[in-house]
Structure 1
Amino acid sequence: MLQPTKLDRKSSLSEFSTQELAQALLERLSISPDEWHKLKSNRKARANEQAAAAIVFLLKDQPEEALPRLQQAVGWLDRSISAPPCPTHQKGVRSEE
């Protein structure tokens, strides 16, 4: 089976809107619930996810939603933020009944 060339892939990408491509990128970079514990402190993965989300909001003309996600992405990259502990795994925390 022949592999598509870069030109073939590029022309097939032109069939999608910029917003659709950004949404696909966000879906690709989003951390799934199954990967959450493994990647919750992975700075690159978290920054990628937040930056992609910001792009989606910018393309939807929602800069007020994009800005906090960009700030989160920068925080992951400059190490000014860290993942909070998982609420279900904190020591001494009991669920209220």
Structure 2
Amino acid sequence: MLQPTKLDRKSSLSEFSTQELAQALLERLSISPDEWHKLKSNRKARANEQAAAAIVFLLKDQPEEALPRLQQAVGWLDRSISAPPCPTHGHNQ
């Protein structure tokens, strides 16, 4: 199987808008419900997810939505925040 070259990948990426690329990055970095327990305390994963979301909002000219996500990303990195408990545990159903 042939591997795409850097030039091929760059040409392929140019077909997408910056917003589409940012959205794809966010989708790639978002923690799925299936991964929640494994990654809920992973500071790098959580910061990546929040920073990618902030970029999407900045590109949509929504800085008021981007700022809290950037603050969350910083909080994960500087350890000023930690993971909340799992939303499905400890609740009466």
Normalising by the residue count of structure 1, what TM-score does the alignment of the two structures yield? 0.90
State how far apart, in whole Å, the 2-side matches of 1:45 and 1:96 are. 30
Q: Secondary structure at the match of 1:86?
A: coil
Instruction: Return the offset for 1:87.
Output: 3.9
Q: Where does residue 45 of structure 1 map in the other structure?
A: 45
Q: Secondary structure at the match of 2:38?
A: helix
1:84 maps onto 2:84 in alignment: yes
1:27 maps onto 2:23 in alignment: no
CA RMSD, Structure 1 to Structure 2 (Å): 1.2
How many residues align? The count is 92
List per-residue Cα deviations over 1:16-69 (Å, max 9, x = no partner): 000000000000000000000110000000000000000000000000000000
State how far apart, in whole Å, the 1-side matches of 2:48 and 2:54 are. 10
Instruction: Return the offset for 1:2.
Output: 1.5
Q: Secondary structure at the match of 2:11?
A: helix
Instruction: Return the offset for 1:85.
Output: 1.5
Structure 2: gaps spanning 5 or more residues: none
State how far apart, in whole Å, the 1-side matches of 2:18 and 2:59 are. 8
Instruction: Return the offset for 1:88.
Output: 3.3
Residues 1:87 and 1:19: Cα distance change in structure 2 (over 3 Å): closer
Q: Sequence identity, in percent?
A: 97
State how far apart, in whole Å, the 2-side matches of 1:61 and 1:87 are. 31
**Higher helix proportion (structure 1 or 2):** 2
State how far apart, in whole Å, the 1-side matches of 2:55 and 2:33 are. 22
Greater Cα radius of gyration, structure 1 or 2: 1
Structure 1: gaps spanning 5 or more residues: 90-94
Normalising by the residue count of structure 2, what TM-score does the alignment of the two structures yield? 0.94
Instruction: Return the offset for 1:96.
Output: 5.1
